[in-house]
Amino acid sequence: MRRPAASLVAFAALALALLGGGAQAGDIAPHERRSGRTFMAPETQAMQADDTTNPGMLWVLQGAGLWDEKAGTSGRSCAGCHGAAEAMRGVAARYPAFDPASGKPIDLAGRIRQCRSARQGAPDLARDSDALLALTTFVAHQLRGMPIAPPKDPRLDPYRETGRQIFTTRMGQLDLSCANCHDDNWNQRLAGSAVTQAHPTGYPLYRLEWQGIGSLQRRMRNCMIGVRAEPFAAGSDDFIALELHLMQRAAGMAIETPGVRP
Amino acid sequence: MRGALVGTALALACSPAPAQEMAGPELAPYVVTGDAIIEPLAGQRGDAALGRALIGERHRSLCILCHAVPEGAAPLQGTLAPSLAGIGSRLDEGQIRLRIVDMKRLNPESLMPTYHAPPDGARIAPAWQGKPVLGAAEIEHLVAYLVTLKE
């Protein structure tokens, strides 16, 4: 097994020994879980709900175009292998998933990248490129309304546990953990912003402040910069471990991609 | 990152001695008596007007991210911490000073960052390594302002 995050391996091993389910102190009770959408002003909620005003739909359209576009040395499109995008519904609700080729978990954007370079033979798409965001938004949008369904794959468990450890460990000059805000204080406001429960249900999503679409990792990067920590690298094992933890925490909640945020 | 750099630049602009420019805000030694630091940091009292302005600077002092303050140009105030209205009636100067300098000494689980100690958190971003959140002079400005908040 590859080491998910060197500094946290000892923790993960210990936690694995204790694994066996049950909510831990600080977790949000299932009946209290709320999408980030429900913390927004009614106008912003309305903007997300209506496809004609939701700016994220522009990336869904762009992604639809890329899905059908032949590219690379294979001369094939995504549709050429996968057919209509609706076929991806059940598959994509399960990401991040275990990738036997690399021996570690891979997220949806990572899988799309991998397909593109290894199978299509097309130039790599950078993590935060518009094209990769558009394809990821398009595929995730196929699942809108479906529940997040993390796979019961034991090979993912150590990474999930690493994600939980990162989420609950204080970091940065301000020495705060994700859980300090998102598990323990989600009902509060940080200056003018609702803290929220940090569920990944709407990603990739359109943020008015960014004037564009952004990934879950970009959002987490911002929170890390906020506590004055050095963010993990895009696509790193640590970010994917956090994604696994967030998906597990939100299991069963409905996917809303593309969400809108202030 | 940009916010971080701007914050550091402002802190430097305030620091009294040009010799400190490369090092960022210096750490002042202090003595804790009970739940208070009785003597002003670096032996220098602050200016309440500067403290009032600083508390509203959410990217530098950060206070109003979590606390409400009773006045001033801060319409969007946090609710993660108790309001600072009337704090000057509840706590004396030395008690306020210790709470800003190192709240975790009183409550190790506190959300409130330690403002004036060598930072020892995990993964501190390079721009902040080895630097306290605020320098001695800035903390004294805040103390001078907060003692005036009587109910």
What pLDDT sits at residue A15?
39
Supply the pLDDT for residue A236: 97
Arithmetic mean of pLDDT over chain A: 90
B125 contacts in chain A (CB < 8 Å): 172-173, 225, 228-231
- At B76 the pLDDT is 73
Q: What is the pLDDT of residue A169?
A: 97
Query: Mutation test of the interface with chain B: which of A11, A165, A169, A175, choosing the one with the most B Cβ atoms within 10 A?
Result: A175
Count of alpha carbons within 13 Å of A160, Cβ hemisphere only?
23
**Whole-angstrom Cα distance, residue A173 to residue B7?**
13
Does residue A194 have a pLDDT over 50? yes
Residues B35-63 pLDDT 10s: 999 999 999 999 999 999 999 898 999 99
The minimum CA-CA distance between A188 and chain B, rounded to whole Å, is 5
Sign of CA dihedral A88, A90, A92, A93: positive
The DSSP code for A126 is -
Q: How confident is the model at residue B24 (pLDDT cuts 50, 70, 90)?
A: low
- pLDDT band for position A86 (50/70/90)? confident
Shortest Cα distance from B122 to chain A (angstroms)? 5
Between B21 and A204, whose confidence is greater? A204
Among all chains, which residue has been given the structure tokens 């903007």?
A47
Residue A93: predicted pLDDT: 84
All domains in chain A, ordered by first residue: 30-262 (1.10.760.10)
CA A199 to mean position of chain CA atoms: 9
Q: What is the pLDDT of residue A4?
A: 41
pLDDT of residue B75: 63
Residue written as tokens 């359109």?
A: A206
Instruction: Say which of A174, A185, A191 has its CB closest to residue B113.
Output: A174
pLDDT confidence tier of residue A85, bands split at 50, 70 and 90: confident
Beta-carbon contacts of B80 under 8 Å, excluding residues fewer than 6 positions away, are: A181, A185, A188, A189, A190, A195, B65, B66, B67, B111
ipTM of the complex: 0.88
Residue A36 is inside which H or E element, if any?
none
Cis-peptide into A204, omega within 30 deg: yes
Q: Is the pLDDT of residue B14 over 70?
A: no
Using the Cβ of B109 and the Cβ atoms of chain A, whether some distance falls under 8 Å is answered with no
Amino acid A47: pLDDT: 98
From CA A169, how far away is CA B75, in angstroms rounded? 31
B118 at A interface, C-beta within 8 A: no
CA distance readout (Å), A31 to A34, A35, A83, A254, B89: 9, 12, 38, 14, 41
Choose, out of B111, B112, B131, the residue to mutate when testing the contact with A (most A CBs < 10 Å).
Answer: B111
Residue of A174, A183, A184, A196 to mutate, interface with B, max B Cβ within 10 Å: A174
Contact A171 B76 (CB under 8 A): no
Cβ–Cβ under 8 Å, residues A168 and A180 = no
Distance between CA atoms of B58 and B78, rounded to whole angstroms? 10
What pLDDT score does B74 carry? Answer: 55
Please give the helix or strand (H or E) that residue A209 lies within, else none.
none
pLDDT digits (tens, 9 = 90+) for A250-261: 999 999 999 999
Query: Quick check: B124 and A230 CB within 8 A?
Result: yes
The rounded Cα B72 to chain-centroid distance in angstroms is 17
Q: What is the mean pLDDT of residues A180-206?
A: 96
Closest CA–CA distance from residue B79 to any residue of chain A (Å): 5
Higher pLDDT, B12 or A197: A197
Q: Among A175, A225, A230, select the one facing B114 at the smallest CB separation.
A: A175
Provide the 3-class DSSP secondary structure of residue A154: helix
User: b vs e for A178-208, b when ≥16 Cβ sit within 10 Å of the residue's Cβ?
Assistant: bbbbbbbbbebbbbeebbbbbbbbbbbbbbe
Q: List residues of chain A with CB under 8 Å from any CB of chain B.
A: 169-176, 180-181, 185, 188-192, 195, 224-225, 228-231
Handedness of CA B70, A175, A219, A157 (dihedral sign): negative
Give the ranges where chain A is alpha helix by DSSP (H): 9-18, 42-49, 57-67, 78-82, 89-92, 108-114, 130-141, 157-168, 178-182, 216-226, 237-249
Contact B124 A176 (CB under 8 A): no
Question: Alpha-carbon distance A152 to A19, whole Å?
Answer: 14
DSSP states of chain B as a string? -HHHHHHHHHHHHH-S-GGGTTT-SPPPP---BTTB--SPGGG----HHHHHHHHT-TTTT-HHHH---SSSS--S---SS---TTHHHHS-HHHHHHHHHHGGGT-TT-SSPPSSS----BTB-GGGTT--SS-HHHHHHHHHHHTT---
Please give the Cα distance from B43 to A92 (Å, whole number).
62
Q: Is A223 a catalytic residue?
A: yes
**A191–B78 CB contact, under 8 Å:** yes
Average the pLDDT over A201-210 and give the result.
97
- Put simply, whether B125 touches A (Cβ < 8 Å) is yes
What integer is the mean pLDDT of B81-106?
Answer: 97
The CA distance from A96 to B40, in Å, is: 53
Q: For position A67, what pLDDT does the model report?
A: 95
Mean pLDDT of A118-131: 93
Taking an 8 Å cut-off on Cβ atoms, the answer to whether A173 and B124 are in contact is: yes
pLDDT digits (tens, 9 = 90+) for A14-56: 333 333 333 344 689 989 999 999 999 999 999 999 999 999 9
Contact state of A228 with B4 under an 8 Å Cβ cutoff: yes
Cβ-in-10-Å burial (0-12, 13-18, 19+) of A149 comes to middle
**Residue A227 structure tokens:** 């506590």
Closest in A169, A173, A188 to B133, CB measured: A173
Interface check for B64 against chain A (CB to CB < 8 A): the answer is yes
Give the pLDDT confidence score for residue A89 in this predicted structure. 82
Residue A23's pLDDT is 37
Comparing CA positions, the residue from A107, A105, A125 lying closest to residue A116 is A125
Is the pLDDT score of A3 beyond 50?
no
